[in-house]
Structure 1
């Protein structure tokens, strides 16, 4: 049995000053880093997902409804798409990008980024080369013999929710460490938590995780 920590979309555009800032985005970035410092030994692998939009169609809108359409955000190679500077990447084993030409809320829609990508976003990483092997998150986790996943990140009610539901549907024992997530809105976060629990996902506090 191997356990993975999936860090979902802790990017500048979802934090203070970003195009789609969530209330706790900055706090969650720092809190995940602190959690990793004390709990990294509890995980066999650590993975990040990254919104990486080029032309996602109706996902972007000048008149967004903030449910199915959104302001422009996390454009590939932009500072908004970069990981938040308070997110410690030292323990990260792989990064998966999603949503180049579609909405792609779930990390399981992402593909493994090239190894030479700059994870911190301090420089401009290029697009994935045409001949890059297209490895999905599910395939990669199976290669690592992962059976259990913990999900953290942004946003509780959208990409964290979608990633955790897909993980459970794929057969992983799935937990969401809810205090290490940041929501778009309290009401939709409550609905998401209920949906996750109905799907068999454990929604717990990070303090419940043994070191």
Structure 2
């Protein structure tokens, strides 16, 4: 069975401090993909404290985002409402947290962990579909880390939110050239 990784479909990346283009559509398209395909689903979440060094206020480059327990850090509620199979909705076994170390910028979900310590790259199958937000950052770095470790990686085109359309398209071309198969381009 294929694994689907849903990268950082959290409110701060959808309608919050780092809102991305196509984010709401990406969420709905990911849900549609989940409902139409036999996949195991894994969700990653940025999960920061107020002291995270990636924040501008702490010397980084990003606005404050995805603070632990705040609305902006929550996965979009539609994942709980519109997915037909309840085992594929977010739960403690399939939600993986990243960005927990305030000193390190962690775009990739590759080493994200569940509350019980299961690591994402050890949980997913060899064939992985990656989706989520943002194409040029966390999605890209997740796909590259998986590819580097020998996984067969696909990107769900319709399930991607992005910061900048031009950079998003350049990113897709670069990932294709590296061996990532882009699917669902309609």
The TM-score with structure 1 as length reference comes to 0.76
Which of residues 44, 57, 81 is equivalent to 2:73? Answer: 81
Alignment gaps of 5+ in structure 1: 115-133
**Equivalence map 1:1-211=2 (5 Å):** 2-16=1-15, 18-39=16-37, 41=38, 43=39, 45-54=40-49, 55-57=51-53, 59-62=54-57, 69-88=61-80, 90=86, 91-92=88-89, 94-101=94-101, 102-114=104-116, 134-141=117-124, 146-205=125-184
The root-mean-square deviation of aligned C-alpha atoms, in Å, is 1.9
Structure index of larger Rg: 1
Alignment gaps of 5+ in structure 2: none
The TM-score with structure 2 as length reference comes to 0.86
Cα distance in 1 between the residues matched to 2:3 and 2:27: 18
Bigger CA drift: 86-95 or 165-174?
Answer: 86-95
Cα distance in 2 between the residues matched to 1:183 and 1:100: 23
List 4+ stretches of structure 1 deviating above 4 A: none
